[in-house]
Amino acid sequence: MLTWIKKQLPSSGLTAFITHQDCLLHNVGEGHPECPERLIAIRDQLMASQLYDELHEVEAPEVTDQQLARVHPPHYLESLEASTPASGTYRVDPDTAMMAHTLRAARRAAGGAVKAVDMVCEGLAPNAFCSIRPPGHHAESAKSMGFCFYNNVAIAAAHALSQHGLERVAIIDFDVHHGNGTEEIFQNDPRVMMVSIFQHPFYPYCGDVPLGPNMHNVPMKAGSGSSAFREAVEMAWLPNLEAFQPQMLFISAGFDAHREDEMGSMGLTESDYEWVTRQLMRVARTYCEGRIVSVLEGGYDLSALARSVAAHVRVLSAG
């Protein structure tokens, strides 16, 4: 049985840990890798590593229709509602299924990412990690795929631009799968830069040809490992981020490139996630007043996911 213990602290400059028990409700069957236990494993690891007490937990609100509409057109949102089954599951593609509570969970996930933006931009937290599901970076403006329905990080970035007066934001995606949805949504948008690494050729079998000059994608061969990943960050990500001088960083934080995760074959470890988070923290301190919102994407080996998130959050919370 899944258990959910909620604790809230005064913010006091603590990293915001944004989540909601409704995110556990999306469950399309035993054996599916994108399962509710992912969030439980993360919480348990943060507690076991004594990081949880250094975080300010905040409940994710539901996203509003207006916030969704900045990224997803009305006909798509209406089709999702219409496709929601009263019982059982409805498959939008061979890997992606909906059940009765899917959109309830998805609205909390997207709302959590928006809440993180508000907290960081309003000075209520120096940065934030959103422990939410279902993930979002494969969701295109009008297409669900890859376990994703609403594009959480895109909704958050659009909110920062629309509501907080920012002119330039950057999205960093280190999931083992290319964030095709995020790229499709923001292609050729001069306000948004995306930098990413991903295993290629691999699902969703794109990204090697960027869709616009604001997209800096680095395809990686299976088995590339730590040194190739770090070289891509240093040679491709950091120079582009420094030239762009973003005012806020968003991280599509997928941890399925871990060597213990059977979903991919990149061969990364917790130390790589800790290292890349430190590099992004330096960029954020230089150009963004420290503002970072990190949004959970993939990561399906529960132990590797939990340890990797802990390494990532440890750096965020250290400031």
32 is catalytic: no
Q: Annotated catalytic residue: which of 138, 178, 200, 216? A: 138
Sign of the four-CA dihedral 279, 147, 149, 105: negative
For the chain, the maximum distance between any two Cα atoms, rounded to a whole number of angstroms, is: 50
| Catalytic center residues | 138
